[in-house]
Amino acid sequence: MKSKNVREEVGKLRKWLTTAGYCRGYISHFDSTTNQLIQFMDVRDETEYTVSVGLCFLTEKYGYDPSGKISEANSARLRTLQMLSEFQLHGAALPKQRLRTYVIPAGFREATDGFLAHRRFTGIVEHSMTTIQLYLERFFGYLTGQHIEAIPQITIFQIHGFVKMIVGFSKQTRDHTLRTVRQFMQFCYENGYHPADLSKQVPYVHYEKRSSIPSAYSAADVHRLLEQVDRSNPIGKRDYSILLITAKLGLRSGDICNLKFENIDWEQNKISLVQHKTGRALTLPLFEDVGLALIDYLKFGRPECNSQYIFVRHRAPIGPFFSRSIYSMVAGYIAKAGLLVQGKKRGPHALRHSLASRLLEENVPLPVISEILGHADTNTTAVYLTIDIEKLRACALEV
C-alpha cells in the first residue's frame, strides 16, 4: 500500500469537511487537533498517520486513558482522529448526526428529492425523515469519496464498500442504514435513475431486536436522584421539573423540549401534545407534584423571555432547550446520586424505562402502558417484560 503523508491527508479531509457542510466551529476544532498531531509527528520524525500514532498522541499530549473516564475534550479529539482514519481508508468520513448545511451532490439531488417526497407520502413522520436523510448523507459521503458523481455509476462494489465502512456502528444502526440504502436503490431503479435493481444486492443485518434488556432504575433510585436537585435556584427548579416529567410521565426528551404553554391544561390537569417521534397525539394527567414543580419554575425560575417553549436555556442566548442538554443533565444527577450504572444507560430514556417497569410491577395492563408511553404498538412496550424480575420468578419451575 502506498504511504500517505499526514499533511496531505489532513488537507484533503479538511477540504472534504468544508464541502460536506461542517460548521466553522467544528473545522476550527479539527484544525487545532490536527495541527497538534502534525507537530507531535514531526518531533518523532513520522509522516504516515496510523491508529497507534493517534493513540500515542492523545496519551502523551492530553493524558488520554481508554480505561478511565474520557473527558469531553478528549472525546472530541478522538472523534477527529477517527475521522482521519476513516478518510484514509474510504476517502470520506461518517457524520454522527445530520449536517444542517449539507448539500446533496448534484448527481444525486433529483433522485433524492423524489425519494424523500415518496417517503413522506407513505406517512413517515418528520423526525424519522431526518434520520433517513442522515443515512443518505453518510451513503453519499462515501460515494463522493470513491469519486462516484452520478447514480448510474453506483455498482455492487460501492454497496459492499459502504457496508464495510459502517461496520463500527451497532447492528441496529447498520440495519436501519442499509434498509434506507435498499429502499433508495429500489426507488432509483423503478424510476429510471439506475439501470439495475441494486436493492437486491444490499445485504441484511440480522439481529434480535429484544436481545438487550432496557435500562431501569428502582423507585428508590429515582427518589434519590430527585433529592440531588438544588431547588433553591432557577436552574434547579427547571431541572427538577424536567426530571419529574420524565420519571412520572415518561415523556421523551424531544417532547419535553417542545412543550409549549398551550400544551398545559391547568383547569383539567392534563398535558396534551403531538409526539415529535411518532406524530401521534398524546394526553397525560398533570399530577399534583408535577404541576407544583412547573408552577415553581414558571413563577420563580424561568428567565423573562418571549419564547413559546416552557423550558429554556438560562444562559445567553436564551432560547429553547435541546435534547442533548437533557441527556447531560440526567446523566449528571445520576452520577451525583451515586447510582450503580454499570451496564445501564444514564440518559432520560432510562427514566422512561423505569416508569414502564414500575407500572408493570403494579400490574398495569400492557395496552395501558403503551398509551402512557405513546407507543403505536404494544409489541414495542412488550420489551419491558424483560425487566419485570418478580414476574419472571413467578414463572420459574420448582426444582
In the block, which residue shows the cell 509522516?
A: 47
Give the closest residue to 282 by CA, choosing from 252, 326, 244.
252
Distance CA 215, CA 346 (A): 8
End-to-end Cα distance, the chain: 62
Is residue 384 annotated as a catalytic residue, yes or no? yes
- Looking up cell 470520506 gives 92
* Cα torsion through 162, 213, 125, 256, rounded to 10: -120
- Distance (Å, whole) CA 268 – CA 271: 9
Is 393 catalytic? The answer is: no
270's enclosing H/E stretch is: strand 270-274
Instruction: Let me know the angle formed at the C-alpha of 109 by 103 and 110, rounded to the nearest 5 degrees.
Output: 155
What totals of helices (H) and strands (E) does the chain contain, helices first? 17, 3
349 is catalytic: yes
Residue type (1 letter), 312: V
Measured between alpha carbons, how far is 373 from 250 in angstroms, rounded to an integer? 6
Identified catalytic residue from 252, 302, 346, 353: 252
Catalytic residue among 182, 302, 352, 353: 352
Q: Is 248 a catalytic residue?
A: no
Per DSSP, 263 falls in state G
Q: Could you say which of 90, 224, 277, 314 is catalytic? A: 277
β-partners of residue 309 are: 260
Pairing of strands 270-274, 264-265: antiparallel
Radius of gyration over every alpha carbon of the chain, rounded to an integer in angstroms: 24
**CA distances (Å), origin 97, targets 134, 138, 304:** 7, 10, 32
Tell me the residue length of the chain. Answer: 399
Q: Is the peptide bond before 285 cis (omega within 30 degrees of 0)?
A: no
At position 79, the amino acid (one-letter code) is R
Please confirm, yes or no, whether 223 is among the known catalytic residues. no
C-alpha closest to that of 241 among 296, 318, 307, 323: 296
Q: Catalytic residue at 14?
A: no
As annotated, the active-site residues are 252, 277, 349, 352, 375, 384
